[in-house]
Amino acid sequence: MKRLIKFLLVAFIITLTFLPALKTVKAEHPDRVIDEIGILTESERQELEQLCDEISERQQVDLAIVISEQFTYDNIQAESDDYYDYNGYGLGEGYSGSLLVVGRDSEGFFVYITTCGYGIDCYTDYGIEHLIDTIVENYEGGSNWYSGLKAYINRCDELIDMANAGEPYDIYYPEPDPPNPAVETAKKAGISTGAGGIAALIGTTLLKGKNKSVFKKREARDYARPGSFKCTGHRDLYLYSRRTSSLRPKDTSSSSGGSRGGSSTHTSSSGRSHGGGGRRL
């Protein structure tokens, strides 16, 4: 009995020793979803933060959102970079990750995405515009920020996967155009017409095959009844000729490779390299 009590006492002491250290490790990273304006309910904020935590730890690319009125649109790039750098965001030696800033002023809402480390490779300039479009397409004009931000977070995860596969989302990934009802109707009509034409061709061929008395003649005189016409001479005359011409298409390829994709970068006040982009909603 004394040995059991001694064992429990030692286990209790060890727990007290290491528990503060575990709490400190978790507290070292700031909250990944901060809402100072109140556009999310607390349960929505917690759910989005859990999603950001899971993706950040799995991908080892930080994913965070801060919603606040402390940011100014005219200086949003520098303010977003500084918030990221001086508040403990970023994973690994390169401080990899991204921070979505949602700000609000007298003119309405605006957003900015700052990227750092491997996050610059994951989110190209084109990809950042796409991510902002994802928010706009899902937040229902500002009445459902939870839906818009959740769609944004999940799309970030997909863009990280694409970068991991060596093909980051960029200008060569245009969004497919929605189907055109008129074109779809024309296609269906064309298929129906084509099927009818094939059936008619088969029927005509079968009827033609049954007509054994008709054969193609090689020359005009073969159609004359024997003895009814005598031809003493013949020659071929070419009455006219026609020539057509067309312009040769110009070579539109360029050795420079066309439009430039990738990520444009700048240096923040901390000396780190950042990418990013944003706009008013």
Q: Is residue 139 one of the residues assigned to a domain? A: yes
Instruction: Provide the edge-to-edge strand list for the sheet that holds 273-280.
Output: 33-35, 62-68, 97-105, 108-116, 273-280, 265-267
Which range marks the domain in which residue 99 is found?
30-175+263-280
Tens digits of pLDDT across the chain (281 residues): 556 555 555 455 544 444 444 333 345 899 999 999 999 999 999 999 999 999 999 999 999 999 999 999 999 999 999 999 999 999 999 999 999 999 999 999 999 999 999 999 999 999 999 999 999 999 999 999 999 999 999 999 999 999 999 999 999 765 555 566 665 565 555 555 555 556 556 666 655 555 555 555 566 566 566 666 565 665 655 555 555 444 333 333 333 233 458 999 999 999 999 999 999 99
Within a domain: 125: yes
What pLDDT shows up at residue 201? 63
Does a structural domain hold residue 80? yes
Considering the domain boundaries, does residue 234 fall inside one? no
The answer to the question of residue 117 being in a domain is: yes
Angstrom distance (rounded) from CA 135 to CA 130: 9
Q: Flag whether 187 is in a domain.
A: no
CATH value at residue 136: 3.10.310.50
Total number of domains constituting the chain: 1
Identify the DSSP state of 143. T
Per-residue pLDDT at 206 = 59
Q: Is residue 115 part of a domain?
A: yes
Q: Is residue 105 part of a domain?
A: yes
Q: What pLDDT is recorded for position 226? A: 64
How are beta strands 97-105 and 108-116 bridged, if at all?
antiparallel
Which backbone phi and psi does 191 adopt, to 5 degrees?
Answer: -65, -45
